[in-house]
Amino acid sequence: MIGGADPLAQRVRGLARIGLALSLLFGLLPPVGYGLIAYGAVRAEMAATGRIHAHTIAQSIALRPRLWMYEQERYADILRQMAEPGQALDLLDRTGAVVARTPERVADPAIEVRIPVAASGLPAADLVLRRSPGGLILGELGALALGAGLGFGLFLAIQAWPLGALRRAIAALKAADDSKSLLLSSVGHDLRQPLQSLSLFASVVAAAELPPVQRKAIDMLCLSLGRLGGMLDEIIAIARIDVGAIEENKQPVALTPLFDGLIAEMSQTAEAKGLRLRRVATRAVTASDPTLLSTILRNLLGNALRYTEHGGVVLGCRRRGRCLQIWVADTGIGIPPSQQQRVFEAFYQIGNPERDRTKGLGLGLALVVRLGRLLGHQIALRSVPGRGSVFTVTVPHLDRPGP
């Protein structure tokens, strides 16, 4: 995906998400670390105590190995003497049946440790120790509060510095860029009037009867003035978008008349190069600014015709879920993958290292991506070198109004 959102803003949001993730991770370290260490320590303590108790019980079982499970009261008294406050003990026989237990019970959730009891070298019973995790929960809450404080502090530090510094730097760059764009827009308007006057004078001279040498010179002058006017219009358009001087006026737009107008407008250029230019029939309707959307498609068609020497260019539309994809496909030179992002940069052109101004300034696709961002339309590109390119503009889909 090429266009649709400010890339700098996307990068700042991406860095902010990374900072938030680091803050959360840093904040979780104290509670997770405390929980693992404290839980392990309590279980180790219970296991050590349980083995001591199991040894005592094993000695008692060894005295009556066949009848000990019938002496419930005796073993219940032994368990009462062994139990610590907040702890419950259960003595189970080999089948898992309860032989004796302490009166005090510990409800779930509880920390439980099971210790085997061996009498005369043979498994005889299991001693189950259960303890309430109340102390661990209080400690965990304290560790959680500490982690939240540390994580929030780290998040504020990241927001203040380096993200704060990055936002300030971007704001300064944007202010400088806006000043440049405002200057270009103002100077462009001042240059447009004398250029129009010059074009008018040249057209008057061109209408007169002239000798062949003078006719060739005036034709070249008119062509150069037309190219200069087009370049100036592109510079002014980009400058106006950058300073926010262009506002979209979205409304329902039927694509058929829009496509027909563009094909009629560009057909002479296609015929001059011997190319086929056609559109695919559609009844689709979208919501967009008709003037700005026409500018986007006009630039894409002009770009396709400029870089296509054989074959043709097709303008069409297809449904994609709740959206429409307007596409411009050509059989031109194609764009290498390494340059598919750069072609949308201002003043970048493929195959024009000598900067031949008859091929334009390289602002057409830069204008497309800016207008797409303004309208909220996604601009995308697929291309295979030597086979051609497909540019797509994703726009909302509207149901056709009834008759």
Which of these ranges, 131-140, 254-263, 378-387, has the smallest mean pLDDT? 131-140
Please state, rounded to an integer, the average pLDDT across all residues of the chain.
Answer: 82
Q: In what order do the strands lie in the sheet with 323-330?
A: 276-279, 312-320, 323-330, 388-396, 378-384
Which of these ranges, 73-87, 119-133, 194-208, 226-240, has the smallest mean pLDDT? 226-240
DSSP 87-111: EEEEEEETTS-EEEE-S---PSS-E
DSSP 121-190: TEEEEEEEEEE--HHHHHHHHHHHHHHHHHHHHHHHHHHHTTHHHHHHHHHHHHHHHHHHHHHHHHHHHH
- pLDDT reported for residue 119: 85
pTM value surpassing 0.75? no
Give the Cα separation of 384 and 333 in Å (integer).
8
Q: What confidence category does residue 189 fall into, taking pLDDT thresholds of 50, 70 and 90? A: low
182 has a pLDDT exceeding 70: no
- pLDDT reported for residue 190: 61
Give the Cα separation of 193 and 189 in Å (integer).
7
Segment 363-367 mean pLDDT = 80
Q: Which domains does the chain have, with CATH numbers?
A: 7-136 (3.30.450.20), 173-242 (1.10.287), 251-396 (3.30.565.10)
**259 in Cβ contact with 282 (< 8 Å):** yes
389 has a pLDDT exceeding 90: yes
Model pLDDT for residues 89-124, shown as the tens digit of each residue? 999 998 899 999 999 888 888 899 999 999 888 889
- pLDDT reported for residue 37: 87
Of the ranges 111-125, 183-197, 344-358, the best mean pLDDT one: 111-125
